Chains A and B, each alone.
Chain A
Amino acid sequence: MSDAVLGGVCAGLACRLGVRSRTIRVLAALASLVFGVGLVAYVVLWIGLRRDGEEASIARRIESQRHASMLVGWSLVIVLVLLLALSRLNLYALSPYAWSLLLSGVALVAIWRGASPAERAHLEGVLQTVPVLGVASVRGWRAVAWRVAPATILIVVGLHILSQVGGVWGGAVPAIIGALVLVVGVLIMLAPWWLQNVRDLSRERRDRVRAEERAALVAHVHDSVLQTLTLVERSADNAVEVRRLVRAQERALRAWLFAPDLIGVVTSDTGSFADQLRALQDDVERDYGVRVELVVVGDCPGDQRIGDLVAAAREAVVNAAKWSTADEISLYGEVEAHVISVYVRDTGVGFDTDTVASDRQGIAHSIHERLSQIGGSSRVRSTPGEGTEVALTLSREVVAT
């Protein structure tokens, strides 16, 4: 019985007669072509024969259930009335197969009501794989009915119109209409099944791509961290180098964890205001071995003036990294409705703004000039022994125009 496809009738017969089940199946299919005789025989046997390992046939079980036998009886009556009505209307196209098909339909209702739980589970499994019923039956029989009924009507009407072609109406128009109706019917019938297949496929593909990406990332991270660990071990005596390596690795990990989309995309010249500041932070931390504590509030797209503002900020940060002796520099950027500001602050040695060495004054000048060229302003405050703060502001109105 494990060989069963539908009711297991063919497999059972084959077993009894000692031939291959495929032989029986082919015979049954051929017999079905002859006015559906094979089909009717199949369901009758299905109902009448005992399933392997069960004590009662479906017919017995229906007999013993009042409700089920009533249901089957009434469906039989309705179908007979329907068949008589059809033959009255002279719809001969339907008649040869209509009897066997409709009677088999009643038989299927009977089978469904009378099936044992094990058989029902098997049938449900079969239903899932049938195109028309499969997917929708998950959502309930009502949904199936709503789809199958109009689709069947469309298909029948389409076939009917096509069968008239060349008859009373003739010509191409009915042929086209009939074909269209037929196609629409078939589409409605099969659409959910097809959609589900497509959906499954794309989900599979997406999952696979995700898994591959994750694997690549993990490999990448492991490789990079292992390399850094080796480097750290090798330069264990060089505190500055160790700190530099550790920070570079930390930044790389953070980038992978929090902004994987930006890797390799943002440099100091592209990206938004915040992206450019982040790039500036990365560069200075890497090159000078100081920590740059970056806080950005708000953001706006980058342009020429933003680029110049960030370049001026970079000079200020590099200057602090070189001269202040502080091991941390605060970099703060804020985009407000009308003003963009950047503050660079350290708590290092500071200097007297009046008597600074000419090289540092030069930097202050260069920052100031950059800013005034783009219509911004800069201010340097420094107290010897306490630290330095460079404030850069740029109004946004000019940015807009």
Chain B
Amino acid sequence: MSRPRVFLVDDHELIRSGIKAEIADDVDIVGEADEVIAAVEMIGERRPEVVLLDVHIPGGGGVRVLRDVRTTCDDVRFLALSVSDAAEDVIAVVRAGASGYVTKNISGSDLIDAIWRIRAGDAVFSPRLAGFVLEAFAGGPGSAAHEVTSDPDLDQLTARERQVLRLIARGYAYKHVAAELGISPRTVESHVSSVLRKLQLSNRYELSHWASARRLS
């Protein structure tokens, strides 16, 4: 398989050069941008396979980039990177279409691994994102009762998905999750992808009103 074509969006020069230094040997970096409009334009031109997207960038944030790019080319996949721990930011980019979320202190090899997986169409969940999702989907279907959803299955996780997320939150890598549950890594991937889909499509109150829900808890 050829090396993934990667585009970097981050407003901090230092972070961009740091990330480049760590991954340049294993991926092709086709461009970088430090603000929304330039990012949207260049991604449209250069058609990378994976965009590493900072959640907080000037001009509307990562969410803006996602929305604008999605309208023109939907074959580009996004991995959100952030130093922020705020659930509402993370959930917002994932719901806008990012395929995963990792924190910026991720090691180089883990990041490269994540890029490859994103390119293959899989979802990448950091322990923290797994924790946010578990929290958002806690309380069973009852807490979403007043929401109008076309598909009620979207509003809750299966027991298996919950198990997988819990192991990821506990710090297990996908292959260890698979070993722990006695299933194939491929199956783990598909569970995580299914969770990602629910995360993006569900109308659960906790997801759409994450900020206020956070403050209450």
A383 to nearest B CB, angstroms?
11
A254-B85, A299-B217 given; A389·B170 CB < 8 A? yes
Tell me if B23 counts as interface (CB < 8 A to partner A). Answer: no
Q: A334 and B85: CB pair below 8 A? A: no
The verdict on A146 contacting chain B, using a C-beta distance below 8 Å, is no
Judged by DSSP, the binding face of A is strand
The smallest C-beta distance from B166 to any residue of chain A, in angstroms, reads: 7
Q: Is B5 an interface residue (CB 8 A)?
A: no
Contact residues in A for B138 (Cβ distance below 8 Å): 297-298, 336
Q: Does B171 contact A (CB under 8 A)?
A: yes
CB-CB contacts below 8 Å: A136-173 with B: none
In the assembly, what is the distance between CA of A327 and CA of B217, in Å? 31
Residue contact A345 to B171, C-beta cutoff 8 Å: yes
Q: Are A297 and B169 in contact (CB under 8 A)?
A: yes
In the bound complex, what is the Cα–Cα distance between A330 and B134 (angstroms)?
17
**Judging by beta carbons under 8 Å apart, are A258 and B85 in contact?**
yes
Whole-angstrom CA separation of A389 from B177 in the bound complex: 13
Q: Is A193 an interface residue (CB 8 A)?
A: no
Decide yes or no: A332 and B86 within 8 Å by CB, A295-B130, A298-B135, A298-B138 being known contacts. no
Q: How far is the CA of A336 from the CA of B138 in the complex (A)?
A: 8
B128 interfacial by beta-carbon distance below 8 Å: yes
- Decide yes or no whether A52 CB sits under 8 A from chain B: no
Q: Which residue of B lies closest to A293 (CB)?
A: B127
| Residues 317-352 of chain A, each 1 if its beta carbon lies under 8 Å from chain B, else 0 | 000000000001010101010000001010100000
| Chain B residues whose CB sits within 8 angstroms of the CB of A332 once the complex forms | 127, 131, 166, 169-171
Set of chain B residues within 8 Å of A345, measured between Cβ atoms: 170-172
- Given A295-B127, A295-B130, A298-B138: A330 touches B86 (CB 8 Å cut-off): no
B135: A residues at CB distance < 8 A: 297-298
Residue of chain A at shortest CB distance from B139: A337
Task: Contacts A291-B105, A332-B170 given; indicate if A296 touches B85 (C-beta within 8 A).
Answer: no
Provide the residues of chain B in CB contact with A296, threshold 8 Å: 131
- Pairwise interchain contact A334-B217, C-beta atoms closer than 8 A: no
Interface residues of A (CB under 8 A from B): 254, 258, 291, 293, 295-299, 328, 330, 332, 334, 336, 343, 345, 347, 389
